[in-house]
Amino acid sequence: MKKFLQFIRFSHTIFALPFALGAMFVAADGWPSARLFALVVLAMIFARTAAMTFNRLADWDIDQRNPRTDGRHRLVCKSQALAGCIASSVLFLATTWFINPLCFALAPVALLIVFFYSFTKRFTDYAQVFLGLALAVAPVGAWLAVTGQFAWPPLVLAAAVLCWVAGFDIIYATQDYEVDRREGLHSLVVRLGIPRALTAATASHTAALLGLLGFGIFAQLGTIYFASLVLVLAALIYEHLLARRGDLAAINKAFFQANAAVSAIFVLSILADRLTSR
């Protein structure tokens, strides 16, 4: 199990989960029922596990030719990865059945979106945007779990998440610039080159910050949330300063530390805002 969790980089669940929880706290106007909270968390974990195992299977041969990723496939065998993908997909669908009929009906669409991302690097330069779309599903799904209907706040938040993820994945993809070019894979980094791609990442994160501001306005959040955006801005600036250094250690530090901080600041500020507004 430990090797499987390393294989799917389970620790990176911290990036998308807080945005789902934040949307859920706003939709519920505070803390939801323990049952719903548990179901949403489980749905997120199962969906991400399915997506990551599918991605590893789709890129199995490519990853083995990349020095940065060739160690992944010593952790589990291909049959184990396939079994994990099938099991987590089934568990995700089953979990949404217990949430509400709309979430269950849309669950296959969510899986289709997150699975489709794994193929995008083969034909489009905007693979990072599709990864953003895959993670943007999370806050919308959490909102639907609470309310059972669409609304503007989660859609605005989804747009912010899309831009945030696209920005940090552009930074992360600079590590694979030479490998991707050699393999004939597509990305904004390959298309633009590293300097211009980092500029695109800055623009994407600027749009993400504006999206988070818009979410606060649409969701009628209070002072705590809007003040926290200053901390989000600081974390993003820190990320880009590290990314500009260009070395592998700095990029990994920027990827994990800064983005974990953004996620944590977001969800904690919303929770504090909802609890103090009562």
pTM for the complete prediction? 0.93
Q: What is the pLDDT of residues 222-255, one digit of tens each?
A: 999 999 999 999 999 998 988 887 666 667 766 7
> What is the share, in percent, of the chain residues with pLDDT greater than 90?
71
pLDDT in the model for residue 65: 87
Domain borders along the chain are 2-276
Q: Is the pLDDT of residue 191 over 80?
A: yes
Question: Smallest Cα–Cα separation from 214: which of 202, 200, 201, 225?
Answer: 225
Nearest 5°: CA angle at 225, between 220 and 39? 80
Question: Smallest Cα–Cα separation from 262: which of 155, 153, 164?
Answer: 164
Average pLDDT over residues 91-111: 98
The superfamily in CATH containing domain 2-276 is UbiA prenyltransferase (1.10.357.140)
What Rg value do the Cα atoms of the chain yield, rounded? 18
Q: Is the pLDDT of residue 197 over 90?
A: yes
Instruction: Write the DSSP symbol of residue 254.
Output: I
CA distance 264 to 232: 9
CA distance 159 to 11: 23
Residue 125 — very low, low, confident or very high, per pLDDT cuts 50/70/90?
very high
Q: What is the pLDDT of residues 258-269, one digit of tens each?
A: 888 999 999 999
CA distance 180 to 176: 6
Q: Is the pLDDT of residue 274 over 90?
A: no
